[in-house]
Amino acid sequence: MVKRDFQNWPKPELVKELKKLEKRKKYGIVWEDKPEEVAELCKTKLPILEEAKSKEIKTDEKKPVNIMIEGDNYHALSVLNYTHKGKVDVIYIDPPYNTGNNDFIYNDKFVDREDSFRHSKWLSFMEKRLKLAKNLLKSAGAIFISIDDNEQAPLKMLCDEIFGQNNFIANIVVQSNPRGSQSSKHLAEVHEYVMAYAKLEDKFKIKGLTKSEENILEYSYTDSRGKKYRLLGLRQRGGEWRREQRPKMFYPFYVNPKDNSVSLEKTKYHTIESLPKRPTGEEGRWGWSKETARKNLSLLVGKKVSRKGTTDFYDIFRIDYLFDDEGNEVLSKPKTIWIEKELNYQNGRNEIKDIFGKDIFDYPKPSFLIRKIIEMTGNKNSLVLDFFAGSGTTGHAVLGLNKDDGGLRKFILCTDNENNICTDICYPRIKRVISGYKNQRGEEIEGISENLKYYKTDKTTFVDAEPTDENKEKMVAKSTEMLCLKEGCFDEVKKGKDFKIFNNQGKYLGIIYADEGIAPFQEAIRKLNKKASVYVFSLDESAREDEFKAVADLVELKPIPAVILNVYKRIFI
């Protein structure tokens, strides 16, 4: 390490150096950060979107609008940080695995196996995007990332740094190739991973999964009401199972041997003591606290079990019903190893082949995988983002789930157009799923009535990020798509020389492009007699309430685009 003489440094430079030293990592993953052209451009320019009107799909005005963005996903995530910050429930991504086989592009060039900065480039690439993605998640949201052994370990450390170790949920093992990869050098690889992190672990909840036929067979008991149930051991089997680790959860139950009922006190009928001991005789602990057990005694039973050295040992079990009191099936807790046959990645290829009539994409994920991820979060109104959308499997999965359970989930898909993947595969796939298609067997597959808006990003979709009067009107006009996305209003209902009004399912949005548009806008909104969010340019972020007193009861004023610039400056500079 080069020694420095700080003796003659000016104070501002010393303070700057001290802050840099404070940020130096003491533990974690370290790599050579490599500049990326699109990220550098976003520091000085305002990234925006441009809608491709010809690709809009509109089938049902009562359904939500899904979004597809063609272009660099860093650019797209930058825009979404203004329009959808804190709005996304689930993120699923299938990033490049960085195998060295030309599967990863950095600064418009493939990264091959011989590139000495191969792993650094991948980490730089992922870090920038994951930081932006984290901002988009709701506090109760989560991100799920498909990965294999090429970058699994570095990705875990990177995500620990970005999302926090405490927010790690699981590293799910997915049996993606049951036959095993014969190209593997030593062992036939049959699995990949899905790494899961919550935005805030204490707020994120897994609702569960619908039980398999095999699971349902476990519910072999029936109570007096005809309700099916199974018995689960109350003694803690894994984790902190020892008495000394959770001493307050070591306490006795008393069992009535005639009806197997359970009490926390010894009585005339409840005479047999039961303690949480392992078959080895080691003292363990219960899975419930004494207070929880007292509240749920009706769900506990004592059962005589075989134990070496005793003929009268009773263990405690809890009743787990198949259906709740409202008749809904109780969901099962997902496991960390997924082995269903539907997860075979060959099924992903077959899905696309069925839609297009030919084999056109090599390694798509099966929609079953993403459906399972989305389903276990349990929110039928969730917003799902995939910024490595590729062939569009995530969109297909969301549409399929909505069809099956009547949900109103929405998706945002972002993908570049390398080898025309967006224009020739991703978009046509979603369009056919919505409109309907004829499969390989000649069967007509009914469409799923949904809506889609299509946007583009490229090097031309940037605006000079200096809030000068000269740029004012241009910036407001270029921000229209972003504001429509932010407010969820897409249908233009009124257009004036210097203003527009949009609507979506009763919600209204007004955009005023120049001061000359204020008066005619007010006249138009008064005639509509509808409340609207209204964006008007203001360099000092003042909402200019005085100029809208005549329609104060109908408008909520919001400054534009200075507020957009400030958001971007906070993110990138």
Q: Is 43 helix (H, G, I), strand (E, B) or coil?
A: helix
Residue 568 has pLDDT above 60, yes or no: no
Give the pLDDT of residue 538.
Answer: 62
Give the pLDDT of residue 325.
Answer: 84
Average pLDDT over residues 549-573: 73
Identify which has the larger pLDDT, 537 or 94. 94
Residue 4 has pLDDT above 70, yes or no: no
Residue with tokens 């069809």: 403
Domain boundaries, the chain: 55-209+335-456, 213-321, 463-572
Identify which has the larger pLDDT, 230 or 477. 230
Least trusted range by pLDDT, from 106-110, 353-357, 403-407: 106-110
Residue 221 has pLDDT above 90, yes or no: yes
**pLDDT band of 1, cuts 50, 70, 90:** very low
Distances (CA, A) of 427 to 29, 103, 423, 434, 448: 37, 21, 6, 11, 15
Phi, psi of 68 (to 5 degrees): -125, 130
Give the pLDDT of residue 2.
Answer: 45
Average pLDDT over residues 161-175: 96
Model confidence over 453-495: pLDDT tens digits? Answer: 999 997 777 776 565 666 666 667 778 888 899 999 999 999 9
Give the pLDDT of residue 539.
Answer: 52
Residue 338 has pLDDT above 80, yes or no: yes
Average pLDDT over residues 267-281: 94
> Please, where are the H alpha helices in 5-57?
11-22, 37-44
Residue 543 has pLDDT above 90, yes or no: no
Give the pLDDT of residue 460.
Answer: 72
Percent of the chain having pLDDT more than 70? 92
Model confidence over 175-192: pLDDT tens digits? Answer: 999 988 888 888 999 999
Residue 370 has pLDDT above 90, yes or no: yes
**Superfamily covering domain 55-209+335-456:** Vaccinia Virus protein VP39 (3.40.50.150)
Pick from 212, 228, 199: which is nearest to 377 by CA? 199
Question: Residue 282: CB partners within 8 Å, gap ≥ 6?
Answer: 242
Percent of the chain having pLDDT more than 90? 63
Largest CA distance in the chain: 93
Give the pLDDT of residue 393.
Answer: 97
Residue 294 has pLDDT above 70, yes or no: yes
Question: Residue 338: CB partners within 8 Å, gap ≥ 6?
Answer: 172, 173, 174, 175, 194, 369, 372
Give the pLDDT of residue 130.
Answer: 97
Model confidence over 52-89: pLDDT tens digits? Answer: 999 999 999 889 999 999 999 999 999 999 899 999 99
Give the DSSP H or E segment for 229: strand 228-233
C-alpha to C-alpha distance for 232 and 319, rounded to whole angstroms: 7
Q: Is the bond into 561 cis (omega within 30 degrees of 0)?
A: yes
Token pair in block for residue 226: 């005809």
Give the pLDDT of residue 185.
Answer: 81
